Amino acid sequence: MSDREFRKADRAVTRAAAQIERAVATMLSTTDRLEAVAIDYVVEKLISELVTRNPKAIDFLNTRNIASGFRGEGSVRLMNAIMDWRDRPADR
């Protein structure tokens, strides 16, 4: 793949991430104030919902050869990152 294609792919990912960020910000700003529910719960629920609705995304990660060469490591890394985020609220 050429540098130009990498730049094109990077721009596409950046646009998708920005759309997701705007959608989450809108969701949080339009949700009535939650007295008993933490924002962390809402975000974790969103991640869970996305994984439930898109099981093939995790399956895809499981079939990819990551740099280390282990199949399935992509989903392990993703889940570890999500769990790290969940377990370290003070870092946010």
Q: Encode pLDDT of 12-32 as tens digits.
A: 989 988 898 888 888 878 877
Q: Give this prediction's pTM.
A: 0.53
Label residue 72 left, alpha or beta by phi (over 0 means left) and psi (-120 to 50 means alpha): left
The alpha carbon of residue 70 and the mean position of all alpha carbons in its chain are separated, in whole angstroms, by 21
Label residue 38 left, alpha or beta by phi (over 0 means left) and psi (-120 to 50 means alpha): beta
> Rounded to whole angstroms, how far apart are CA atoms 41 and 44?
5
Which residue ranges in the chain fall short of pLDDT 70? 1, 61-75, 85-86, 89-92
